[in-house]
Amino acid sequence: MKYREIPQTDLNVSLIGLGTMTWGEQNTETEGHEQMDYAVERGVNFFDTAEMYPVPPMAETANETERIIGTWFADRKNRDQVILATKVAGPGPHITHIRGGSRLNREHITQAVEGSLKRLQTDYIDLYQLHWPDRPVPLFGTRDYSPPKESDPVPIEETLRVLADLIAEGKIRHIGLSNETPWGAMKFLQVAESQGLPRMVTIQNSYSLLNRTFDSGLSEVCEEEGMRSLPYSPLAFGRLSGKYRNGAKPEGARITLWERFARYNGPSSDAAIEEYFRIADEAGLDLAQMSLAWINQRHHVASNLIGATTMEQLKANIDSVDIELPGEVRKAIDTVHHRYPNPCP
């Protein structure tokens, strides 16, 4: 395994991180434990979860993923081997079952942290992230920003002050963003600096060969401000594995099960995937591993958050850490990107 430091922290995370959002829905507790066991054996030391997981978010399963991780910690007695990240939900119509509609204010963040600590069976969280902003922004496939007609977001200073108090109490160690914009990232950094509050050290956004919008603004923020990214959906809900090619609908796969997950569908993404498949095939590479290896080589990435529903997928995804893409492959990938720029925001 390879490891990367997150600047201004003591965190040295595995380049491959373990995403967990299928545990409790597509994966059982036993399967989740098996995945964690194998990942640790392979040197993976960074796990990412959220109070909202598993997906799709539902009242019946909310918090189940954290509970599964907690029972694994309790049984294995190995909390010190894992750098653990989780997230507090922001506001939105799809999560009204969480505290009646979560907000990033003192009351809700405090309740969220206490709930996560209990379920995870731990005394501290290494990286605590805001799952998405409290203000209206383009999210989960929405491409463009539109000024809201009505908006009453929780002030960023309030959010940072409660996080500062939780750090002082030893309940969380570092903080990060998720699904954030360049303006939002810079605003959090600005308020933290001007008010002497904790600094965001990571940002977790969708990032893959089908969605490189991160590179148009947030990549520069990471480079100039010393933040690091934690890409999620690096295989675009599995579309970059090739398993959905030619209209295939594999049994038990996420896009097969839930039509709502259409974020990475469309004719432009289909065309781009075929081009990427051709590049991988000509280079003697597996499409999924090529897609992951491309992310692994990006300058702003600290840990590439893979997810898997089978052990076969997990093993192959972790193996991508040992693949170095030749220059001609990276150049061919960029050529396709310029032909089909960000077909899936």
**Residue range 251-260: average pLDDT?**
75
Burial group, residue 328, by CB count within 10 angstroms (0-12, 13-18, 19+): exposed
pLDDT of residue 261: 76
Give the structural domain span for 334. Answer: 3-339
- Structural domain includes residue 111: yes
> 207 CB contacts (<8 Å, ≥6 apart)?
214, 229, 231, 232, 233, 234, 295
- Structural domain includes residue 93: yes
- Structural domain includes residue 344: no
- Structural domain includes residue 124: yes
Catalytic residues: 53
The CATH number assigned to the domain holding 92 equals 3.20.20.100
Query: How far apart, in whole angstroms, are the C-alpha atoms of residue 92 and residue 89?
Result: 9
Q: Tell me the pLDDT of the chain averaged across its residues.
A: 95
- Structural domain includes residue 345: no
Which is more confident, 215 or 149? 215
The 10 Å CB-count burial string (b at 16+, else e) for 259-292 is eebebbbeeebbebbebbeebbeeeebbbbbbbb
- Structural domain includes residue 80: yes
What predicted TM-score, i.e. pTM, was given to this entire model? 0.96
* Number of domains present in the structure of the chain: 1
- Structural domain includes residue 21: yes
